[in-house]
Amino acid sequence: MKFEDIYTVYWQKVYRICMGYVNDHDWAKDIAQETFISVFKQLSSFRNEASIETWIYRIASNHCLRQMENKGKLPRANFPAEISNEPESDIREKSAFLYTCISELPEIDRIIISLELENVKQKEIASIVGLSETNVRVKIYRIKEKLTQKFNRYER
């Protein structure tokens, strides 16, 4: 796969994973760009040991973790202040709330749930994170439970 094609196919996906991690548009965009710089540099050494998707998500996840070096920069509650009654804005609001909730989870959980929501198979998530498939399944179940609780409290 050519770099240009990878960029087109994966930019949004990588951006969303970064967004789930930091919940800040500019910061997420920066991490996504760092990810693609790494992809570009390492593409020649990619040997199909994993699928290209797994490989890209590993790089993205590790770049997210590297954000610990940006001390003082904390995930931001990017929640819209205005509330309107339009159905479209309701979805946007809920989506923003979801990203806020995810960015408040422990770091590894943020990555796992972002990948799950990005429709990555649990087997692949296991090979991205380096955990067993069972562990991943249990974690996803618990995280979703936590998110559901938060949503129910929010909707009340």
Partner 1 sequence: MNDNIDFKDLWQTKVTETPDIKEVYYLINKEKKRLLKRLIATNIIYFLTATYIMAIWVYYKPQLLSTKIGISVSILAISIFILAQNQMLPLLKKVNSSMTVSDYVDQFNKVQRKEKFLQTTMMNIYLVLLALGIFIYMYEYVAKTVVSVLLTYGITSGWFAFNWFYLRPKTIKKQQAKTNDLIAKLETFKNQLTDA
* Chain positions contacting partner 1, by CB under 8 A: 4, 7-8, 11-12, 15-16, 19-20, 25, 29, 33, 36-38, 40-42, 46, 55, 58-59, 61-63, 65-66, 68-69, 71, 91-92, 94-95, 98-99, 106-109, 111, 114, 117-119, 127-132, 135-136, 138-139, 144, 147-148, 151-152, 155
Query: Least distance from C-beta 81 to partner 1, angstroms?
Result: 18
Residue in 104, 122, 111, 107 with CA at minimum distance from that of residue 14 = 111
Task: In angstroms, give the least distance from the CB of 92 to partner 1.
Answer: 7
Q: How far is the CB of 75 from partner 1 (least distance, A)?
A: 14
Instruction: Provide the minimum distance between the beta carbon of 85 and partner 1 in the complex, in angstroms, as a whole number.
Output: 18
Minimum CB distance to partner 1 smaller for 20 or for 75: 20
Q: Which is nearer to partner 1, 72 or 81 (CB)?
A: 72
